[in-house]
Amino acid sequence: MLSPLAPRDADGLLFDWDGTLVDSQSANYRAMTEALAPLGVTLERAWFDARTGLSSAEMIGALTEEGGLDLPVPVREIVARRDEHFLRQAHRIRAHPAVLEVVRTWHGRLPMAVASGGSRAVISRTMRHLPYASLFSTVVTREDVERGKPAPDIFLLAAHRLGIAPDRCAVYEDSDEGVAAALAAGMTVIDVRPHTGR
């Protein structure tokens, strides 16, 4: 029987990072909470969980806009602190077994890319502790594009780097923003949430 995560008719596979390839939701929440706490900002877990497809900077922007907050430091400084907190626990991050199996099954058969709203430095340093390090042809992050998810830019650039037409790509995602971005790019979407416990 064909796995529900099998890509079926695709020429290339694009994978979101946080929540899709890796189980990092709690670590990301803790890191963002620790970065915001010195500023007197409380981050509700439910609010955070509902916006996991946003980059850290975009999430902070949404938080300040919705809460009418005036932060005393630039967003980039808060993001840098968040990344520092996260990297202290990067060695504890684990791969999602079901998605890891897809990557291992199709490695060498179809070109694959990481396409994430996360930071390149955080992804590359975390990847060292995981079995993904040599399995992807390219990694595209929020720094590589003008607009993050739900805009399609990250996925379109990943497809371009792989040399594959967008409509021939299958995207593995775990967030509403990521699904919207993949659909806006004209790609097939495989929602991993039923297979990763989210």
The one catalytic residue in 9, 11, 16, 176 is 16
Closest CA to 60 of 47, 46, 75: 75
DSSP letters spanning 78-99: HHHHHHHHHHTTGGG-EE-HHH
Classified as helix, coil or strand, 61 is helix
- Say whether 144 is catalytic: no
Q: Check the CA dihedral 124-100-137-55 and report its sign.
A: negative
- The answer for residues whose C-beta is within 8 angstroms of residue 52's C-beta and 6 or more apart is 18, 19, 25, 28, 174, 175, 177
Q: Which two structure tokens, joined as six digits, stand for 82?
A: 């968040």
Active-site positions read 16
